[in-house]
Structure 1
Amino acid sequence: MKETPLQIRSPWQSLVHLLLLTFVWSIGIQVLAIVVGSLSGGGLFDGGNLLDQSPFFRYLILAAGTFGTFYLPSVLLQKREPYNDYFPYENKSFVLLCILGVAMLVAVGPVMERIGEWNAHMSLPESWKGIEEWMRQQEDAANEVVKKVAMVDNIGFLFLNLIVLAVLPAIAEEYYFRGVLMHIILRIAKNGHVAVWLTAIIFSAIHVQFFGFFPRMILGVLFGYMLLWSRNMWVPIVAHFVNNAAVTILAYYYTVQGKTFEELQSFTDYPLWMYGGSIVLTIMVVVLFYNKTKNQQEYGERMG
């Protein structure tokens, strides 16, 4: 029997398909998690909220949300569109590029902290006070969930947090944003820089934490260029994991030391020379990363 050739979708068709898969699976998997959790003693069906549930139920809902919203739609779209290389795996200098990717995050740390402090104290015009109040409410709600989950003093919960807050988000979010969404935007815009920055903006906005928007966007930009230049999906995944794992372990350390979530979120005031050094060092690492990959066919050129 003669096989029917695959119909190659346009990038706009791929985008619509991705959004449909996201809608269906994000709702479906989380409803399934709620049912399983409720049968095991959870109380969301009784009017409770996530913060009041057992640790098992909280971890189940968080993991299901990440898996259903980001991982499944990405993998299913790749399966339906095998002609698109959404998850490239070039192996050239992989270990070195992972080290340089993590070095970028370390180098940019002081500058990111200063930007984060400015963003956290951002104030909108008086006419937008209603919007600002809603943004604060969303931020506080998200922080309450993070506080409840991340601030643990039990080594077993630390390992669970590393899985739910570091491993799963690193793989699922990078698959979805840098793997699939950036690829689709790249096909539409035909410009790698536009694809990296627009994906980073969406990546930050989707977290609905507006007073941490700009630091997260910058992280998204760094992850995007890691993939654009290396053409290896696991380079941004490793960097994303290290970033999340560092915060997770630091939250555990603070809890063990008797410190609060508010202390964890406090900003360090570095001397001026450290900010200048951070900028210079970040540029040096970025240039080194780029030079290690420039002899390879650029990911964006392949898409074009």
Structure 2
Amino acid sequence: MKKTLFFLAAVCIAVVSCTKDKTDYEAEIDKVITEHTVFKEAAVIRSEGYDIRIEALNGTFYNGYNEIRVKITNSQTNEKANVSSVTYIPIRTNADGSEISCPHQYNLVYRAEDDYFSGHSVFTSESGADGSWTLYMSFTVGSQTHLVEDNISVQKQPNKNLNMTSFIGKDNEQYFIALVSPQKPKVAENELVAGIYKFNQPTSPPSGNFPDPSQFSYTAVRGYTLQLDPRMPEPSMGNHSSPNNKDLTQYEDGLYRGIVNYTMTGNWTLNFIMLNQNGRILKGAEVPTDFTPGVEGVKSELHLDILF
């Protein structure tokens, strides 16, 4: 009888603990997960009679993947300028004076249907005492090229579903993986979108005016595969996974897409194995598939933690 009572008490404690954990998750979700769909002005540069407006989701630059839109108008007439090209380089100056960039689209693409230049940048850290970000841009009107720069603020990304990571692959190249969507997953099969980028090591010393694009060049990798194994690593969840997940492969827009099936809300880890176009593993390893209640699940050396 005593054993039975002890067992029932343990079950009650476990239920209360799980309920508390779930409540905590829901509280954090209410604070963290906001789905942004509207582009707003994040920065404006006024120079030589032109207004250069840079838009981002929610009007904010965040640590991680940012789609950007650039619109350039005449300062006096407020009419659209006849711009033929726009370039874009974000530079971070660290506290020690060193300068680095981040994955970005150097030559922005003109979208005629919406009348703006589009691109992206994957800010690798937020602004703070340890470093600041500056945008260096150029745009051409007629035969004249204009150079502009402006300090910007990059905020910490509050949405863990948009996490990113950087690492050195087995080929000694520096890579970056940034989640693009979903911003607000559902308990269902979700399309998982990510950008995968590589830093292009300079082949010659810097030349010309700062910044020299050849020293801060990044490209989206082509033809890679990001194998996916999502798991709930919390001891109470037993390291369980879910069915019907699909590895991420590249689409025409350069981003990588797959399927992640979330069977409940809570802490999830997206375990990855990244293979190049020849099938060589550049980072990541398989994780144990055992159901391990009471024991935290093992994570791949290449992973991203999320919470929804």
Normalising to structure 1: TM-score of the pair?
0.28
Structure possessing the higher relative contact order (Cα contacts under 8 Å, 6 or more residues apart): 1
Q: Which has the higher helix share?
A: 1
Q: Which is greater in Rg?
A: 2
Normalising to structure 2: TM-score of the pair?
0.28
